[in-house]
């Protein structure tokens, strides 16, 4: 069979998929043996369903670069708290996938030990700085800073299942976000109008490690909600910009899908959106989803 005879199924898309999604092949096997193109996970706790997917974006595939998004999930049985982290490596630096992998796990480990997001982020920032310095030193004094540098954004969520109603304590940097879905309507949860907090999105992504790390926090009370979704900007940006994406994802994620379907949905094709995609979705029991969600006062409307 020749390459011209091979047929590949069209990608799952929302709107116009664009030529890259339709024509770009999977590419050669990666040079990094431990860096999979895609990663999936699922779990369930007391009727709460969790799906997670991280999908290598078209731009990284085209450039033969590794997936730079990562996620981590853990559960504190003693506190009945579900911990989630999503990290998005800064694409301009060659080792950002290493930073994202490290930070996603370190953030949850630090929070489990301190139960304090501020202390946890600062601890991760310091550890990332040490890792970045070690990586550069091992590469050599004259190593390329772009090739061996690393930075990542992060977003963390601690979902307290013991609280009534459940609550989610959130922390985030830059453009990694958390959204809530209730009765088919999306609301961004990772927002704050606190004047003491730094304003994000006013310039380029800062990322961690940084001499002056910036991050924000919020506590969200959840009551009878469909679910919350912790994500990188690969999904967060089209979700914020497009009513078509909002409607489609609300339909797809009204119920927790099978994990392989979820992975394909997270990786939906859409013209001009070619970044890595990572989402961790949390669905509460069905009999608790028919009322409204109580949002924090600082939550922004879509």
Give tens-digit pLDDT for 160-175: 999 988 899 999 999 8
Q: Please give the Cα distance from 144 to 100 (Å, whole number).
A: 20
The angle at the Cα of 58, spanning 245 to 266, to the nearest 5 degrees, equals 40
Full-model pTM: 0.88
**Which among 157, 109, 186, 108 has a CA at the least distance from the CA of 282?**
157
Specify the 3-state DSSP secondary structure of 147. helix
Q: Please give the Cα distance from 124 to 215 (Å, whole number).
A: 12
Residue 199: predicted pLDDT: 40
Question: Positive or negative CA dihedral for 201, 202, 207, 209?
Answer: negative
Residue 297: predicted pLDDT: 37
Categorize the per-residue pLDDT at 186 as very low, low, confident or very high, splitting at 50, 70 and 90: very high
State the chain's mean pLDDT as an integer.
86
Sequence-ordered alpha helix ranges (H) in the chain: 19-23, 58-62, 96-114, 117-139, 145-148, 233-241, 243-252, 259-266
Residue 32: predicted pLDDT: 63
Give tens-digit pLDDT for 8-38: 678 899 999 998 888 888 888 766 666 889 9
> What are the structural domains of the chain?
37-86+157-206+213-288 (3.60.40)
DSSP-derived pairing of the beta strands 177-182 and 227-231: antiparallel
pLDDT at 289 over 50: no
In 148-190, beta strands by DSSP E: 152-160, 167-172, 177-182, 185-188
Q: What is the mean pLDDT of residues 235-262?
A: 97
Categorize the per-residue pLDDT at 192 as very low, low, confident or very high, splitting at 50, 70 and 90: low
Give tens-digit pLDDT for 57-89: 988 888 888 999 999 999 999 999 999 999 999
Residue 292: predicted pLDDT: 36
């Amino acid at each position: 069979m020749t390459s011209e005879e091979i047929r590949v199924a069209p990608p799952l898309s929302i709107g116009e998929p664009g030529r890259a999604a339709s024509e770009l092949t999977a590419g050669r096997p990666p040079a990094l043996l431990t860096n999979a193109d895609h990663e999936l996970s699922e779990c369930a706790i007391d009727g709460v369903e969790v799906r997670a997917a991280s999908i290598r974006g078209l731009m990284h595939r085209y450039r033969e670069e590794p997936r730079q998004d990562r996620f981590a999930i853990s559960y504190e049985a003693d506190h009945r708290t579900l911990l989630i982290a999503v990290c998005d490596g800064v694409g301009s630096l060659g080792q950002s996938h290493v930073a994202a992998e490290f930070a996603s796990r370190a953030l949850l480990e630090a929070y489990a030990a301190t139960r304090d997001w501020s202390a946890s982020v600062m601890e991760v920032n310091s550890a990332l700085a040490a890792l970045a310095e070690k990586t550069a030193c091992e590469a050599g004094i004259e190593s390329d800073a772009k090739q061996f540098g690393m930075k990542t954004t992060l977003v963390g969520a601690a979902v307290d299942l013991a609280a009534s109603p459940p609550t989610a304590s959130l922390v985030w940097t830059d453009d990694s976000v958390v959204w809530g879905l209730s009765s088919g309507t999306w609301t961004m949860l990772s927002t704050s109008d606190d004047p003491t907090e730094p304003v994000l999105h006013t310039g380029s992504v800062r990322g961690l490690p940084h001499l002056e790390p910036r991050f924000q926090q919020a506590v969200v009370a959840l009551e009878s909600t469909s679910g919350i979704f912790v994500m990188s900007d690969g999904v967060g940006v089209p979700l914020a910009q497009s009513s078509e994406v909002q409607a489609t994802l609300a339909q797809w994620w009204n119920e927790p899908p099978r994990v392989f379907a979820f992975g394909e949905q997270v990786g939906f094709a859409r013209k001009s959106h070619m970044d890595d995609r990572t989402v961790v979705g949390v669905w509460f029991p069905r009999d608790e989803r028919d009322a409204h969600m109580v949002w924090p006062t600082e939550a922004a409307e879509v």
